[in-house]
Amino acid sequence: MNRFAKAFAYGGGGLGLAGALLTGLLFGQAQLAKRAIPDADRPPPDGSGHFPGDGMPIRLVMLGDSSAAGLGVDHPAQTPGALIAASLGVPVEYRCFAVVGAESGHLAAQIELASAHPMDIAIIVIGGNDVTHGVRPALAVRLLADAVRALRELGAEVVVGTCPDLGTIQPIQPPLRWVARQWSRQLAAMQTRAVEAAGGRAVQLGALLGPEFAAAPAEMFSADRFHPSAAGYAAAANALLPAVRAALIREPA
């Protein structure tokens, strides 16, 4: 979290005394947030598997970061990819290649692993770590667009859940929360344009889910108060599901 403040300092060097004071405040709040959010003590459950249904079978893969993998829940069935696979109503062979802590720059390695298996559709959830790790938005977006194009060249439809609204995370206090919200929204808007230009479908998770997470943080966040709970992942899966269904039937989103 302290990288929020470092990045702010980098971008606000000409703000003078007021900027220096605000930067110092951001550093202090970043340290408080870092102490308030515990490190994960175990990996997310793997929801990969076969899901029954009627009709033509679908091969689905999930790529991205901890929110794609489902960090914060206890059971494989509660992970977002498993929830989506179980909701499609057709036979689904689902594999998760998402990695906790991943940034957009890590998607290429995940795609290399996934490419060993045929896939019909790939879901990517990415962006939060790009913001918290200080990755420049233009670079993060370019790497995401490269990933979308690579998956399209492999014959997969692509749905991307863009950067969540990091301003809903309770351990992050104002004004750091305001910075987090602004930067995550900016990245999400840039991701949306790039994904669509690369032939994928973008779902703005922050805009869709931010108000719900902000209104009920105790319900929507897991015990670490950073990653979603089972209810939070269910909401994310429901937000992604229409775009996944539209991609599978090749209709305009």
CATH number of the domain enclosing 208: 3.40.50.1110
Q: Is residue 85 part of a domain?
A: yes
If asked whether residues 47 and 32 sit together in one domain, one would say no
**Is residue 54 located within the same domain as residue 30?**
no
Tell me if 253 is assigned to some domain.
no
Q: Tell me the C-alpha to C-alpha distance, in Å, between residue 217 and each of 19, 121, 213.
A: 31, 31, 5
Catalytic residue among 66, 67, 104, 229: 66
Based on the residue annotation, tell me whether 66 is a catalytic residue of this protein. yes
- Average pLDDT of every residue of the chain: 86
Q: With contact defined as beta carbons under 8 Å apart, do 193 and 204 qualify?
A: no
Whether residues 54 and 97 fall in one domain: yes
Measured CA to CA, the distance from residue 125 to residue 240 in angstroms comes to 10
In this structure, the answer to whether residues 148 and 214 fall within a common structural domain is yes
Q: Provide the domain count of the chain.
A: 2
pLDDT above 70 covers a percentage of the chain that reads 82
13 and 53, same structural domain?
Answer: no
The answer, yes or no, to whether residue 38 has pLDDT greater than 90, is: no
Q: Are residues 3 and 102 in the same domain?
A: no
Mark whether 133 is an active-site residue. no
**Residues 7, 63 within the same domain:** no
Q: Where are the beta strands (DSSP E) in 108-152?
A: 121-125
Question: Terminus-to-terminus CA distance in the chain, angstroms?
Answer: 35
Beta-carbon contacts of residue 9 (< 8 Å; ≥ 6 apart): 23, 26, 27
Regarding whether 129 and 30 lie in a shared domain, the answer is: no
Number of H helices, E strands in the chain: 11, 6
pLDDT tens for residues 45-72? 999 999 999 999 999 999 999 999 999 9
108 and 18 in a common domain? no
Q: Is the pLDDT of residue 30 over 50?
A: no
214 plus 93 within the same structural domain: yes
User: Residue 65's closest CA among 236, 194, 182, 196?
Assistant: 236
Asked if the structure places residue 114 within a domain, the reply is yes
Confidence of residue 169 (pLDDT cuts 50, 70, 90): confident
* Co-location of 118 and 14 in the same domain: no
Annotated active-site residue in 46, 120, 146, 224 = 224
- ω into 175 cis (within 30 of 0): yes
**How far, in Å, are 43, 89, 170, 214 from residue 135 at the CA level?**
24, 38, 22, 25
Determine the structural domain holding residue 120 and report its residue range. 43-248
Q: Is 106 noted as a catalytic residue in this protein?
A: no
- Pick the catalytic residue from 48, 67, 227, 229: 227
